[in-house]
Chain A
Amino acid sequence: MEKSTNPFYAKRNSQHTKETLVKLVLVIFTYSIILAALGIFGNIISNGAPVLWQKGWSFFTKKPQTLFVNQVEKSQGVEMPAKNFDGLLTNNPDAENWLGHVTPFDQTMEFVQFDLLAHSRIGNGYLSELESLNPDFRLPYTERDHHARVGFQLSSVKKISLAHDDYLTLRQADADTDSPLLPADVPKREIKLNNYRITIAAGEYPLSKAAHDALVPTPLVFKMRQTFADDEPDKINRTIIPREQTITIESNTYFAAFDEDERGTLPLKSEQEVPFLRIFHDMTLPAGNHTTTNTALAILENYGIQHLHNTATGAVVVNADVTGLTVPKAFWQQLTAANPGLKTARVSAVKQTTPYIRFDITKDTEIQLDTDDRESIASANAATGKFRTTGEETHSYSGGGVIGPIVGTGLLVIICMIVALSTGIAASIFLNEYAGGGSFVKTIRLAMLNLAGVPSIVFGLFGLGLFVILAPCVTSTPKASSTFMVPLVKLGSKPDLRTIEEQHILVAGQSDLGSDQLSTLAAVHSDKLIYDGWIWLSLQGWGTSLIAGGFTLAIMVLPVIITSCEESLRAVPMGFREASLALGASKWQSIRTAVLPYAFPGILTASVLGITRVAGETAPIMFTAAVAEKSELPWQGLKSTGFDAFLDFLQSSVQALPYHIYTVAGRIPQSEYTEPMQYGSVMVFMLIVMFFAAVSVWMRIRIRKKLKW
């Protein structure tokens, strides 16, 4: 202390060392944050970039698929379509080790092209096969025919023991046709059987599960003290017989329910055998094509005849001519044989060539294949048997690319930003241009501050409660489970039969039933939708859908948008407004012409900032919009046209990138085969989010530099 009185003299003492140390600690703190950031980005880039490099463009054009890991035996002359071969190469970077003799060639396949004429009868399964072979073709049929003749194919001789009633029906089906199904004379066989007439006294008894199950179809009234669980077959429960009853039951029921000398059976007060004769008809159906009636086929189903008709609903009646359908020759033969009521025109054989690749697998190896590649290689070599696998593992969502999630995230962000910006800008204009400082504005600001602090998962719950299960819909086919329904006008157009069947619509008659009765009726018939000619306002929610997710995200991001829009409005100098007003512009005119254009860059920054926030969120879309598995993009496979199609599009669920990452990182078993998909998706996701983040940072800097008043 004595040494110097100079205040600027720096003393080299412990104080100095301490200061350096503290400073060092602060530097370490700061730079370790930076290091952590670099570690994160470094890890993602170093693992993700090779994946993108390897998968190339296909990662952005394919949908997520299941990855098959096959152990394949060495083989020569394996064939597959050229485009799937590309997929094989992308998935197996080590392919040069085991690929040999890769030769491209053209595979020629025979197709049949034909026109389908109106009033044709066609079976359900055949129609859907036809539709899957011709992606543009969808038949909105309005009528079914229960009496159409149908065909089926037997690959081998079939022996059948027909019950008497069934025999009679089949005989009748043969009556008015010249190609009868049944042989002329069918031997008869009689078996003596007993029915049992039993009386059970009132009381409370133990009952085993087997006996209970046998008694359920009988008319016996018994009250169970408790229900049986499926996984406890040996359980004994107590049952109450409320009054003495006498019933007649078949012998197998009798033996199952009463003839056990175990504990859980009901005591019989009296029993009596009622003998009767059962008649069987033994016959043989030769292999080949057969035709019969729909009713008869329904019976034959029970005897193990396989076909693609739906005997319960009958054949579909084609309501208009359809031109230019193409099917493989094999299916054409099957189609014509099974559908005698099919009317076709302009049938012509067509040959199509597809580029194929033939290659050798030079040694036993492990091949990774996406689902579609796996299917194509299996079907292309099914006949030759040259693609032999000795082991197969599947990894869900680990193959293909991420087009579905990218598109889903993009659409969610677009919808969200449309909603959030339109309300957010309006709100910020009010707060900055119109409102003073009153308590109303204070409340709004307080609400906004609090809204910004709400956890994102709570927004998810809110979206689930409001948009997914309660939001209003105007529709002619409201959900039977709707919370609340009001009829609006009686203008609904009846959906076609196909829609009614596929969506389980209850079509109520002319009588005007209330919504409660309609719901009950639908529940009884286990229908999901209701149609009665009225257009309803129904609080049934939008379901897990794009629009529900978009709105939820919009609400979440609203405070951010409002705050930053307001900031950019505030940055416009007061003089602009004053000058404009002084020139005679109205308030709105001056906002529109003198304020908004200058605030626009700021608003744009706000929206980019909003996009960054929204695109990265998982929790709010988990239950409102996102699904893990979806084979089609949102605009594909819509079953309506025009504006309805747009509504359907908005109400379809989507895959989303963050949810996809959640699925591959947290919901499927981890393995080395899943890792490329994980890092690839994360890399793409980060590229998108970081791009927007960088744009917003850049724009903010630019605006600060450029727009200085």
Chain B
Amino acid sequence: MSPSKRSKKNAPFGKSTGFKLLGIGKQEAIKYFFGGNATLAVVLIFLIVGFLVFHAWNFLPQYKKSLTLYRLSGQEFTDYASDQLRAQKELSSLASQVPAYELKHRLGALYDLEAVHSNFKNKAQKKLLAERKELQRALSNLENTLAKQPPVQADVATAKARVAAATDALKTRSGDILGAIRYADLDNKSLVTDAKYLADIRASVSENIITGKTTGFIKDIRAIEAGETAKIRALPHLQQLEKAHQLLLAPQKPFAAYLEKYRLIASDNKGQAETPSTAAERKEAQLTKARLATTEQQRKIDLIKAERILTETPDYDRLNQALYDSLDAHLEVQQQLVEQTRIALAALPKASEFDGPKAGSRIEKINTLGEKFFGTVEAKRHNMESWSHQTPVGYGQALSGFFMGTEWVSNSSWQDFYGVLPLLAGSCLVALVAILLAVPFAVGGAIYVNRLSSPFEQRWIKPIIEFIGAIPSIVMAFLGVVVVGALIQEHTQNPLLSWIPSFPVEQDKTILTAGILLALMSIPTVFTLAEDALNNVPKAYKEAALALGSTDLQTVFRVIFPSCASGIIAAVLLGFGRIIGETMVVLLVMGGRIAIPDSISDPAHSMTGIMAQEIGEVEQGSLHWSALFMVGLLLFVIALTLNYAAQTILKKLSKHS
């Protein structure tokens, strides 16, 4: 007998309401209403999964179709060759960067002097608008007076006086303004400056603003710089580098010519392959339009348009024949590429010969990439030889193309790729950086506040940290864009920090920047949960430990901390889950470069960021759309797994105590 039935029939104080529908009384109806609302949570979870799957499930067939076209058209074949060239070009572009870094390092402030000069000029010019305009007017006035035939002497004198007055005014004012500009005001903080040039720069800028001509100072500097540069460039290791660089560049031309020729063919093939793929639908639509046309003339036009649509599939064997025939030509350019690169790499100077650390690190990178290069070339050549346009593309390939793909390219005129790996790597790396930074602070803070601090500190520190949790993520992202990014870039230039891997950071929007902000955002979550876990440790543990003669810290680290470790692990997992699902910070602060990052000082993109950035501009139901929902589904699964793991640990813990 259920309680509700009893209350209806036997309750002595029950009012007989008479309200009954399908055997459900008023009280039960109320209960079911509330129950229905509670069930919403379950329904919602299923709906979310359902919608993500519904929009994502079309991805596989669509991506398979797209990859099939990619293969049938021969684009895949030519892309193997472009991969070879790209790998080699990476070497040459690194080699071309080295001299600049070396020069910058050796020249120091001299190297950036012109940039500093123009930076100063920009700053001053804005504030001198009125004076500069007046000078311009005075000058054109003088010109006009002189142009009169014959010139009136009195007018000329006045005009000259006006010019002189304007020049004086500009000179005084620009002197004032420039005097107030310091190196610290520069927009680009990475410029190298030297105090000994400051006065000269100010004077020169002032002169330059008045006359509009290159000043003597700048000319001198240029001459000195040119002399120094020539000297540095003449150093044996830079000469050697230049030679190697030329060797790297030389074989690129014939290879690029080969590539261009066959890429054109492949892209033509693609055009021909795409045209009939939607032809049937288009023809149908056009015929419908003709049927519904209001005028006879319009109907005729529509019919002709319908008839013009090509429905036959092209002959792929014939289209791709040229590509198969090009294998010999490819071998030739490839051999050149490999030979010259080998010689160039052998001729490369040693990294230790370079003074600048950035130059040296790039030489090292060339060497490591160079070792991989030959393997890449061989593998790609092998791919090309065994390539056949008839090999069917399976679902497995589409699936691995998504999960293992290293490229995310959309809206390309060549071919779209939807590989989630760079996004996943970016998301995971930034979350890892953030959690590694956050955990010591959050857990350390929790231990301190919970076990070691005074009651006064307890009362104040907790609400303040909770307040950080209330800062909206977009505000954090904004601070990252405006303040934190530049701050990190500036302070990591410090040579004292150069022992940290991937320092100095060369950009303001990097994984590190986003990681620091995300760490700050996740500290409240981890802190609160860790503090809860510490709170739940029975008091007896502490008392027992202290009675046995251990100190406060021994109690905390040997007794209390181990007994609530799983709670803290759960806190960290929950924090990780929150970070990986965070959108705005990674969207605005991480730089948005879609590539697998090499280090934490690289810009990267993320799963959440790509969705936020792209889904607004994508046609509903397209391949791109479903790819983005696939990313959403993947993110959902990751977040749920982390959440579930954390909850399980917490549950076990609560059973334990």
Contacts and interface: CB of A to CB of B under 8 A. Distances in A.
Interface of A: 7, 15, 19, 22-23, 25-27, 29-30, 32-34, 36-37, 40, 43-44, 71, 73-74, 98, 219, 221-227, 229, 237, 240, 242, 363-366, 390, 423-424, 426-431, 433-435, 443-444, 447-462, 464-466, 469, 520-521, 523-524, 555, 558-559, 562, 583-588, 612, 615-619, 622-623, 658, 661-662, 665-666, 670, 675, 678, 682, 685-686, 689-690, 693, 697
Contacts of A617: 472-473
Contact of A465 (B27, B51, B453): B51
B440 interface: yes
B588 A427 contact: no
Given A434-B34, A454-B48, 17 more contacts: A33-B527, A221-B304, A225-B271, A242-B307, A423-B40, A454-B581, A457-B635, A458-B48, A465-B629, A466-B51, A588-B30, A612-B470, A622-B612, A661-B474, A661-B475, A666-B587, A690-B470
Interface of B: 4, 7, 11-15, 26-27, 30-31, 33-35, 37-42, 44-45, 47-48, 51-52, 54-55, 126, 129-130, 132-134, 268, 271-272, 274-275, 285, 288-289, 292, 300, 304, 307-310, 314, 413, 440-442, 444-445, 447-449, 452-453, 461, 463-468, 470-475, 477-479, 481-483, 520, 523, 527, 549, 551-553, 557, 574, 577, 580-584, 587-588, 608, 611-612, 615-616, 620, 628-629, 632, 635-636, 639-640, 642-644, 647
B274 A226 contact: yes
A461 B473 contact: no
A666 B588 contact: yes
Contact of A464 (B442, B520, B615): B615
A670 B47 CA distance: 40
Contacts of B466: 697
B615 A623 contact: yes
A693 B467 contact: yes
15 contacts: A40-B468, A223-B309, A363-B130, A430-B34, A430-B38, A444-B39, A448-B41, A451-B45, A584-B11, A584-B13, A616-B474, A619-B584, A658-B474, A665-B474, A690-B467
A307 B611 CA distance: 46
Contacts of A26: 444-445, 447-448, 452
Given A461-B52, A464-B615, A444 B38 contact: yes
Contacts of B616: 622-623
B129 A71 contact: yes
Q: Which of B48, B134, B441 has the most CB atoms of chain A within a 10 A radius of its CB?
A: B48
B94 to A, nearest CB: 30
A171 B170 CA distance: 69
A465 B54 contact: yes
A426 B41 CA distance: 12
A504 to B, nearest CB: 17
B52 A559 contact: no
Contacts of A586: 7, 11, 14-15, 27
Contacts of B475: 44, 616, 661, 682, 685-686
Given A23-B452, A451-B41, A665 B615 contact: no
Given A26-B452, A461-B611, A658-B474, A36 B520 contact: yes
Contacts of A25: 444
When A and B form their complex, which 4 residue pairs have the shortest distance between CB atoms, in order from nearest?
A: A455-B581, A584-B13, A616-B472, A453-B643
Contacts of A7: 549
A705 to B, nearest CB: 13
B470 A450 contact: no
Given A40-B471, A444-B41, A455-B635, A30 B35 contact: no
Majority secondary structure, B binding face = helix
Contacts of A365: 129-130
A48 to B, nearest CB: 11
Contact of B129 (A366, A428, A558, A686): A366
Contact of B478 (A22, A450, A682): A682
A424 B40 CA distance: 9
B424 to A, nearest CB: 14
Contact of B583 (A40, A423, A615, A619): A619
B132 to A, nearest CB: 8
Contact of B608 (A223, A366, A455, A690): A455
Contact of A434 (B31, B449, B474): B31
Nearest to A28: B444
A15 B558 CA distance: 14
B534 to A, nearest CB: 13
A473 B164 CA distance: 76
A30 B14 contact: no
Given A29-B445, A584-B12, A665-B481, A455 B582 contact: yes
Contacts of B612: 457, 460, 619, 622
Contacts of A616: 470-475
A666 B636 contact: no
Given A25-B444, A461-B611, A685-B472, A224 B308 contact: yes
A382 B44 CA distance: 60
A29 B441 contact: yes
Contacts of B447: 26
A462 B640 CA distance: 15
Given A19-B553, A678-B482, A224 B463 contact: no
Contacts of B477: 662, 665-666
Q: Which of A365, A431, A457 has the most CB atoms of chain B within a 10 A radius of its CB?
A: A457
Given A44-B475, A457-B608, A30 B449 contact: yes
A461 B55 CA distance: 10
Contacts of B51: 461-462, 465-466
Contacts of A36: 468, 520
B642 A30 contact: no
A25 to B, nearest CB: 7
A555 B37 CA distance: 12
A662 B584 contact: yes
A32 B47 CA distance: 43
A34 B464 CA distance: 7
A365 to B, nearest CB: 6
B557 to A, nearest CB: 8
Contact of A225 (B38, B314, B551, B620): B314
A665 B310 contact: no
A223 B44 contact: no
A658 B478 CA distance: 10
B48 A462 contact: yes
A451 B308 contact: no
Q: Which of B54, B275, B466 has the most CB atoms of chain A within a 10 A radius of its CB?
A: B275
Contacts of B479: 40, 43-44
A215 B582 CA distance: 54
Nearest to B516: A36
Given A29-B445, A223-B310, A588-B27, A658 B35 contact: no
A451 B468 CA distance: 23
A584 B10 CA distance: 12
B34 A33 contact: no
B34 to A, nearest CB: 4
B472 A240 contact: no
B472 A30 contact: no
Nearest to B52: A461
A466 B52 CA distance: 10
A468 to B, nearest CB: 10
A1 B47 CA distance: 69
B472 A689 contact: yes
A430 B33 CA distance: 9
B236 to A, nearest CB: 44
A616 B467 CA distance: 13
Contacts of B33: 426
A23 to B, nearest CB: 6
Contacts of A40: 468, 471, 479, 520
Contacts of A33: 441-442, 445, 465, 468, 523, 527
Nearest to A428: B38
Contact of A450 (B465, B635, B644): B644
Given A37-B465, A455-B636, A693 B470 contact: yes
